[in-house]
Structure 1
């Protein structure tokens, strides 16, 4: 699903240069549940933005589902983001004036899908994530955990092959965070490819494999092997 080779990202501030990513190479297979973790400043967010086609590296190669996305013009990249990637963010990024069902519909609205189709699919996904009775609720009428479930339904509505989750439990209490992680595991068991960005080691250990970043580089896991959990 993901192949990255020798990814370099440099930010410039006047004469100063910050190498946020330094020769990062990694792969994620279809159907994997991978956590990318590291301390603040390790390069996690930068890697997530490049992985999500929200930013471009200064050097390296990136193939997403077999496509050389770095060779794509911006218009094509927008289509890649809309069709191949579902995003789940720490701050939910829901539109406050829209109800849950309409928030979930947004990716299909951008595609120009028939509204009756998008509304029906949004309702089914909200039912799947346990919010079938909250379709007309706006974000401020939902708890943090419920808002994140809306965001997950929105990420799924376009049936993307890849889900990218950036600190998805960071704004949640421990109970809501545990519920969201169980939902991610269910999605992975259904065959979804998930990449989870987190600084929380307890959250990271719930993935099948952990990729560790430090100072913009991939480093070996403690003991030389990546942490894994058994797949039921």
Structure 2
């Protein structure tokens, strides 16, 4: 039975106030919330790791989480979907971001949809999504969305909104994908091009070859037929 309220949690590892990391988290949250089908309510919570930095460090050395950290961990592990956003430091996620998810039990996010996002000074760091974040959440058994969002400094400029591949378009696409999974539907998945029907050819006739005219030689097409040597030569000519 579906619950009346879905839980969407965004985790932001930005260090400054305000920060582009938190701004990206907010925009992704808004895009996801607005794409959820009508009739489903969504409870949105943002976890600011900056405010939990001392508690995270203490937990790593003592093994005991303070109440605010315990509440944040419970919110993350109890979410129906997650948005995670980290700044890029030294070509990877931040230490604060990694330290927080080090405290999450390996199976606690099993099957949870996760939208991956990151911010950095240059688009050259965008590979952090696939080379660092995806392996981390694969280890946690989460379901990462195909679309990740990386926002470089230039993406926040005045001309960033004018083309189809700009940051707003990427945010909207990722939000639709996550909303589709969050609502338990396929609304966020765009249909790919439909493949045409496969036409079977008569035995001994190469695909796409009219009558008995020898077609191009392909090992796949000829694997199960015996072809005279002179015909093989003709096909290779």
For CA contacts below 8 A with separation 6 or more, give which structure has more relative contact order. Answer: 1
* Higher strand proportion: 1
Which protein is bigger by CA-based radius of gyration?
A: 2
Q: Mark yes or no: TM-score above 0.5.
A: no
- TM-score, normalization by structure 1: 0.31
- TM-score, normalization by structure 2: 0.31
